[in-house]
Amino acid sequence: MSTNKVIHALYNDDDILMDAVKTVKDAHYHIEEVFTPFPVHGLDKAMGLAPTRLAITAFLYGITGTAVATWLTWYTMIADWPQDIGGKPSFSWAENMPAFVPILFELTVFFAAHLMVITFYMRSKIWPFKEAENPDPRTTDDHFLMEISVNENEEELKALLQTTGAVEINVVDKH
């Protein structure tokens, strides 16, 4: 068999899919990808995927937002155009900081949220008008698809997948 072939095993239940992923991984087969209509809790661990570092980037983006907010409030209210608002002194950022807390919070959240969306789309290679790479349209509705690479082991892999509760098994050429 050619190495550019894959087996698509379709399942109609997420619990059956989780058991099938564990069975396939225990048999030492490489799962290329799993397509699901909704997030399946624990699937990343069952597949043996490394933990994501998106939380670290979110924290760094939040720190960046806080730094920008600190600079913005200092520059606009202390350095550029100091004003006496409500009797608050305009010569010290530290004395005015309690009044700036909403701005600090909002810009922290703004930077973290917007930069995380951009990072997620870039990391996932998703951009506007990109064609879907979904191998079977049923995986957007009610089916789960496990894609496994074929390496001279097509028949034994099909037999294994039959025992896992797959409702459909197809061998396809991967583009």
> How far is the C-alpha of 74 from the C-alpha of 81, rounded, in Å?
10
Beta carbons of 19 and 164 less than 8 angstroms apart: yes
Backbone angles phi, psi at 9, to 5 degrees: -105, 120
pLDDT of residue 166: 92
Beta carbons of 163 and 157 less than 8 angstroms apart: no
14, two tokens: 């997420």
Express each pLDDT in 100-149 by its tens digit.
Answer: 999 999 999 999 999 999 998 898 888 888 888 889 989 989 999 999 99
In which residue ranges of the chain is pLDDT below 50?
Answer: 1-2
pLDDT of residue 170: 92
| Angle formed at CA 172 by CA 8 and CA 146, multiple of 5 degrees | 15
Q: Is 81 exposed, middle or buried (0-12, 13-18, 19+ CB in 10 A)?
A: exposed
